[in-house]
A and B are shown apart, each in its own frame.
Chain A
Amino acid sequence: MSENLLEIKDLYVNAEEKEILKGINLKINKGEIHVIMGPNGSGKSTTANAILNNPEYKKEKGKIIFGDEDITNLKTDEIARKGIFMSFQLPEEIPGVSVTNFLKYAKNKSTGKPVKIFEFREELKKYMEELNMNSKNMERSLNVGFSGGEKKKNEILQLLVLNPKLAILDETDSGLDVDAIKTVSKGIEMFKNDENGVLIITHNTKILSSLKADYVHVLVDGRIVKTGTQELAKEIEENGYSQYK
């Protein structure tokens, strides 16, 4: 089994007829935390959506390899079942479907195994406690009437329950206060082990104060212009992106 988790090769992606990604290359190995930083409109979210093959984003060129498999053109649900999870910047609201039922269903679909209800509920309760979530939320409709922070925590809850091989966190830290960011970081630490990987997409560095990244990539105008360590994030915090434009 290779150490390679995800490899993006020379990826070009259009959204709404406009070229957004202009040749991205990225390699994530097991046990690594990667961060993609960049100004608004640089193509950060497009990268996340392209990995999950969101039909609204059109791949013009390039390949995405997951493990040993080419997943470039697989359907989103197939990619998810291979073990890639994405935490959404704006999670969708699903009226009439409770958090519990949704997660039970999703877990059943992603593992292909029946979910034992009692154990599952206990697991869910445990994670919710760790994430400082109100356990009453279990019975509420998914994301309906949730505050911004509750929605983000709910994404991390899903991450923990579905336990994928690769977690992509798209702007999960944005709009959160310091405490919520700490909780989210804690969730990521709970998830993280030597066998899986994390790709954090963000436009600020707040989350890096409580989480250690192995690699930081700077994405500007659809290209990765620089790759470094956590030091790079600090430098950007001080100087901004202007030097890369």
Chain B
Amino acid sequence: MSKSNIEEINRNIYDIKNKDEYDFKIKKGLTPEIIKEISKQKNDPEWMKEFRLKALDVYNKLELPTWGPDLSELNMDDIATYVKPKTGLSNSWEDVPEDIKDTFDKLGIPEAEKTSLAGVGAQYDSEVVYHSMKEELIKQGVIYTDMETAVREYPDLVKEHFMKCVPVNDHKFVALHGAVWSGGSFVYVPKGVKVDIPLQSYFRLNSPESGQFEHTLIIVDEGASLHFIEGCSAPKYNKVNLHAGCVELYVKDNAYLRYSTIENWSKNMLNLNTKKAIVGKNAKMDWVSGSFGSKISMLYPMSILNGENSKTEFTGISFAGKGQNLDNGFKVVHNAPNTSSLVNAKSISKNGGTCTYRSLVRVNENAKNSKCSVSCESLMLDDISKSDTIPTSDIRTDEIEFSHEAKIGKISDKTIFYLMSRGISEEDAKAMIVRGFAYPISKELPVEYAVEMNNLINLELEGAIG
């Protein structure tokens, strides 16, 4: 059979580039002066300015990671860390400048807000440009705002939690994040409040050669529940862009948090995002994660099961095409008795793309009667693509159930022939197999994201023909 030519094609809507217009763009590179300038621009309180400067010190002391994908092309002196779009924060789409609103329109954000969301935040470059939430949630005491506003208006909550779950010395890019963070979302759900409809934030990086360092801090208090959705995209420029966001999730006793995200960065983006959750007694943390774009991705969400009977589930998929190296995975620490974790990770690679599943399972001595089940499955669409699984487990008690299953496969010619014998073209047959492979993940995503994911798969698999 002639191998069908699956070529990279335009990412249409994601690649709409708006003119690089901004109010203020920080000089490239990193010095204490630049950090002070960012802090001044952002109207930081004194403690935050000090925090940033300390983080810069840590950043300068730490080395780049010596494992994983090669990051040597990243020259921090070339990356502008703070880009302020030409607009303020608004709670009405009418007030958002036309070109920026147009971008979010094409991404379907305002439409989704009308139909299926309880609140929306939209970040453009470094600043949040839109934020709103349904009235009844405000009445129940739910806080959903941009991170800067939270620093100013809820200093106690922020100080108690900000970069406590992910400390600045975690790794070099977290330290960088601590120094230059900008934008992001803050959510607080009070005790016992169940937020039935999801909240969603969307991050869009437009400016070339800049970084996006949004900080997401979510606190779901005791007995409360929340579904939070995050989407990210950026158009493609020839220069490297950096995304080093940080997500800190606190799921208190008896609480539930579901955090869904699709990261669809442009294919020159280095996505070095850090996400961590601390899970309390009887609480549950669910991650649903799709990783599509970016040139290099190092993304390992982590659940720390600190409370007895706490649970976590991770459902994730990565899709790497030509020139992409997606090094993704999941980390879990079982740090209390009767805890459980369930991992279902999938990856698809094609056209020489590389997908690596890298994971860590740590079960501490006190985590008796815990369960951990990991399943990862990779699909390679041709002979030049790569797929690898690098699991690490550190288990310090005998009284646990642990299983790890890894499968690596290819689409067989027999399967394609079977589908073609039903009148389905070779390309459609491949897309059908891939969508089916991804289905256990896409069915966990909010419907518009599942549609987006299927569109992305089709887009990725469409041939050069026609």
Q: How far is the CB of A7 from chain B (nearest CB, A)?
A: 20
Bound CA span A105–B437, Å = 17
Stretch at the interface among A33-41, A81-89, A175-183: A81-89
Within the complex, the shortest CB–CB distance from A88 to chain B, in Å, comes to 6
A84 to B1: give the CA distance in the assembly, Å.
20
Say which one of B21-29, B200-208, B428-436 lies at the interface with A: B428-436
B438, CB-defined interface residue at 8 Å: yes
* Contact across chains for A80 and B418 when beta carbons are under 8 A apart: no
CA distance A141 to B439 in the complex (A): 10
Minimum CB–CB distance for B314 against chain A, Å: 19
Contact A85 B437 (CB under 8 A): no
How many residues on B have C-beta within 8 angstroms of the other chain's C-beta atoms?
A: 25
CA distance A125 to B454 in the complex (A): 28
Please give me the residue from chain B that is nearest to A103 by CB atom: B422
Instruction: Out of A54, A81, A92, A141, name the residue touching B423 (CB < 8 Å).
Output: A81
| Closest residue of B by beta carbon distance from A164 | B423
Q: Is the CB of A105 within 8 A of B432?
A: yes
Query: Which residue of B413, B423, B432 is within 8 Å of A77 (Cβ)?
Result: B423
Decide yes or no whether B388 CB sits under 8 A from chain A: no
- Shortest Cβ distance from residue A75 to the other chain B in the assembled complex, whole angstroms: 7
> Contact at A106–B435, with CB atoms within 8 Å?
no
**Smallest Cβ distance from B419 to chain A, in angstroms?**
7
Instruction: Check B436 against A95 for contact (C-beta < 8 Å).
Output: yes
> Which residues does B use to contact A, with CB under 8 Å?
1, 412-415, 417-426, 428-429, 432-433, 435-440
The reply to whether A91 and B413 form a contact with Cβ atoms under 8 Å apart is no
Asked if residues A85 and B421 are in contact (CB atoms below 8 Å), the reply is yes
Which chain A positions have C-beta within 8 A of B423? 77, 80-81, 106, 109-110, 162
A228 within 8 A of B: no
Are the CB atoms of A55 and B413 closer together than 8 Å? Answer: yes
28 residue pairs of the A-B complex, CB under 8 angstroms, read: A55-B413, A55-B417, A56-B417, A75-B420, A76-B420, A76-B421, A77-B420, A77-B424, A77-B425, A81-B423, A86-B421, A88-B418, A88-B421, A92-B414, A92-B419, A96-B435, A96-B436, A96-B439, A97-B439, A102-B422, A102-B432, A105-B428, A105-B432, A106-B424, A109-B424, A109-B425, A110-B423, A162-B422
Which A residues are closer than 8 A to B by beta carbons? 52, 54-56, 75-77, 80-81, 85-86, 88, 91-92, 94-97, 102, 105-106, 109-110, 141, 158, 162
Q: Are B436 and A77 in touch, CB under 8 angstroms?
A: no
In Å, the complex CA distance between A77 and B416 comes to 10
In the complex, which of the residues B413, B417, B438 has the most CB atoms of chain A within 10 Å of its own CB atom? Answer: B417
A158 to B421, CA, bound (A): 11
For A95, the chain B residues whose CB sits under 8 A away are: 436-437, 439
Decide if A105 touches B424 in the complex (CB within 8 Å).
yes
Residues on A with beta carbons closer than 8 Å to the beta carbon of B440: 96
Whether the Cβ atoms of B421 and A80 lie closer than 8 Å is yes
Task: Collect the chain B residues with CB atoms within 8 Å of residue A105's CB.
Answer: 424, 428, 432
Tell me, in angstroms, the Cα distance from A226 to B421 when the chains sit together.
29
Contacts of B414 in A (CB 8 A): 92
Q: Are B422 and A97 in contact (CB under 8 A)?
A: no
Cβ of B418 and Cβ of A109 under 8 Å apart? no
**Closest Cβ neighbor of B440 among chain A residues:** A96
Measured between alpha carbons, how far is A95 from B1 in the docked complex, in Å? Answer: 23
Are A80 and B436 in touch, CB under 8 angstroms?
Answer: no
Q: Is the CB of B438 within 8 A of A77?
A: no
